[in-house]
Amino acid sequence: MGERILMRGNEALCEGAIIAGCKYYFGYPITPQNEIPAYMANRLPEVGGVFLQAESEIASINMIWGAGCAGKRAMTSSSSPGISLMQEGISYLAGAELPAVIVNMVRGGPGLGNIAPAQSDYFQSTRGGGHGDYYVIVLAPATVEELTHMMVDAFDLADIYRTPVIVLGDGVLGQMTEPLVLPEPSTRVIPEKDYILDGAKNRKPRTIKSLRLAPQQALEDHNMELKKKYEEIMKKEVRYEGYMIDDAEIIVVSFGTSSRVCKSSIQMVRENGIKVGMIRPVTLWPFPSEIISDLAKNTGVRAFLDVEMNYGQMIEDVKLSVNGEKEVHFYGRTGGMLPDENELYNKIMEVVNEYCIQET
């Protein structure tokens, strides 16, 4: 095992990316992720890579397309407004099945909003985000170490499924310094890249495109292939953390930074002898529906409490998974505000009382 070091989230994730073999970064400054381009500008030349500050996020994502055509591992990063600008490009990448890794250190919105940590890009990330029928894989880390290791996973997933992957953090995760052990390089088998544009030498010319005009059903056929791929991802790549769920009567569902607050509040509630646990989705898409459905059907589980840093986005996926079996309550802060562990404690206790759950 590697040495334990202290690193800030935005910088540690760069090391994770470099360990994953990423040598190319294209991006445009925006708070709260400016440490990423600054770090890459220093670090990539050392590993024989290229850092390029693009003229906009629109340019960045299309540079990523270019690098992806060449089969190279490349990344970009931004925060909410910049990610909005990238959406056309992300849709193209999904349509053309090009791998890409995009880090979104979410800030408060809508509009210019503020620069405080938020989770209000959940809808945008998990519903494709741009135009057309597609999904992207969305990974949501809760610690700096997880974020760093996740970069290796993100590049693997992007290559294995030839899809954009979004790593969804927030200002807290990006700015926070935590101890971590850097990840090992991946040992996953990556399919041979038989689509790369590197000059048609001793082979037929290749084309990378999202345009599918003819025959009439060409796009539907292609989209059905995409759908198959998405179903495979949903089957194989769901990741979540179950926290004290074995005996839990109340299940909190929360991801990323807000899930850390939940852990504190859950511990406070547990001290009262009340059984509360948490499902922390690590992949927001594919969403861990199955475990939530199973828990919803479990007679020991009385209710759910969805906790987010927005005014209720993931709760739709939680409700779809719970499918009416149990009530789903909500606690959240929006506009860049962090949930408060005492307030959340009170909210959990409110739910506990509503269901007359006794301490045991």
Q: Which residues lie near another protein (CB under 8 A)?
A: 23-24, 26, 50, 52, 54-56, 58-60, 62-70, 72, 74, 88-89, 92, 96, 197-202, 205-211
Residue 327: strand, helix, or coil: strand
CB 76 within 8 A of CB 86: yes
Q: How far apart are CB 44 and another protein at their closest, in Å?
A: 11
CB 30 within 8 A of CB 77: no
Q: Which of 146, 100, 138, 141 is closest to 122 using CA atoms?
A: 138
Q: How far apart are CB 9 and another protein at their closest, in Å?
A: 26
Nearer to another protein, 26 or 285 (CB): 26
What's the Rg (C-alpha) of the chain? 21
Q: How far apart are CB 151 and another protein at their closest, in Å?
A: 19
Residue 84 CB neighbour total at 10 angstroms = 16
Nearer to another protein, 59 or 150 (CB): 59
Nearer to another protein, 148 or 163 (CB): 163
DSSP assignments along 27-89, one per residue: E---TT-THHHHHHHHHGGGGT-EEEE-SSHHHHHHHHHHHHHTT--EEEEE-HHHHHHHHHH
**Would you call 257 exposed, middle or buried from its count of C-beta atoms within 10 A (0-12, 13-18, 19+)?**
buried
Q: How far apart are CB 214 and another protein at their closest, in Å?
A: 10
Nearer to another protein, 2 or 199 (CB): 199
Q: How far apart are CB 210 and another protein at their closest, in Å?
A: 6
Nearer to another protein, 95 or 169 (CB): 95
Nearer to another protein, 102 or 233 (CB): 102
Q: How far apart are CB 98 and another protein at their closest, in Å?
A: 9
